[in-house]
Structure 1
């Protein structure tokens, strides 16, 4: 009997946790876009089209960032440790 109660409590906690995730205010990211944070300190938030993720230049940037720094996503978006100017230059030339 005690096992069933613990199981129900655990299930209730999971449901509450999922509800809080669903009802949490979502950031303004249009459909078909992804959030990218740039820089290692004082991160700046960019919203870019998902199509950018498949571009060879952007994939190269992601690969270098992964090899050098590993990925760290504490803000819930993709974090790339590079200069803001380099990121803007790269993404501004992409379709």
Structure 2
């Protein structure tokens, strides 16, 4: 049976809750220090994430792989990452918010 780290689970739950609330904001309402992106393989969902994610190696790797496979020039007009929303949420839940 695996080890469950309670502080990590609480931190991830808070992080997910913050991303969910930011996702539900008006499309033109991106707070200072955040970046709007589109995530999804087919149906794109707009998410708002902290700019500090751009400094994280895991996030940079995701961006690099998405750029290599799909490029960044998309009809959505914003940064688009081609991966499932679940995979994106899993990856970002492991990143520190600064």
**More helix as a share of residues:** 1
Pairs within 5 Å for 1:1-95:
27-95=28-96
Q: Which residue of 2 aligns with 1:14?
A: none
Unaligned runs of 5+ in 1: 1-25
CA displacement at 1:42 relative to structure 2: 1.2
Unaligned runs of 5+ in 2: 1-26
2:42 & 2:31 partners in 1: Cα distance?
26
Which consecutive segments of 4 or more residues in structure 1 shift more than 6 A? none
CA displacement at 1:87 relative to structure 2: 0.3
How many residues are matched? 70
**TM-score of the aligned structures, taking structure 2 as reference length:** 0.66
Change (3 A) 1:63 1:41: same
C-alpha RMSD of the superposition: 1.3
CA displacement at 1:68 relative to structure 2: 1.0
**TM-score of the aligned structures, taking structure 1 as reference length:** 0.68
Deviations 1:44-66 (A, max 9, x none): 11100000011000000001011
1:76 & 1:31 partners in 2: Cα distance?
20
